[in-house]
Amino acid sequence: MPSHTVFISIGSNLGDRLANCCKGIAALCADETVRLIARSPFYETEPVDYVDQAWFLNAAMQVSTRLSPEALLDRTQAVQRALGRAGGGVRFGPRVLDLDIIFFDRVVIESPRLILPHPRMHKRRFVLQPICDIDGSIVHPVLGRTVESLLNQLVEEGQSIRPCSFDC
């Protein structure tokens, strides 16, 4: 069974944001099915879409897995639930932990459960900057542009990010 290269965005803006993110990374990579290859630095990021909430702590990670996209989605959702994320709530609202699959190899999927690449990633500085820290040359399989070029086209207004010294 082949191994897949996957990029996952990590975020939290409730409770101990750093602990939530670090526990999420550790839980996702707790066995041989998901192996951490690289992780970006953490950033404090301005909320987008639903702005009446605390700033997020965000990062990205590159993992290797033999899981299918759907099985990896099940895994990320199980980790989020285990760390206290409840269903429902305000769309784009506060959350204990958010683990979003951004890229899964160069796979393009559009199903009721999963859209890959992530449908809003190209509009989100808090996703693009951490992925660029790992590898800015990744080409979006639908848009045909590198992650770095997508980041460079964004306007900064409403998407401030601040590097921080937090680490797991």
Which residues does the annotation mark as catalytic? 85, 95, 98, 100
Q: Any bridge partners for residue 34, and if so which?
A: 65
Give the closest residue to 117 by CA, choosing from 100, 137, 134, 102: 102
Which amino acid does the sequence have at 134?
I
The separation between CA 108 and the C-alpha centre of its own chain, rounded to angstroms, equals: 17
Give the closest residue to 116 by CA, choosing from 143, 85, 97: 143
b/e map 59-93, b = 16+ CB within 10 Å: bbbbbebebebeebbebbeebbeebebeeeeeeee
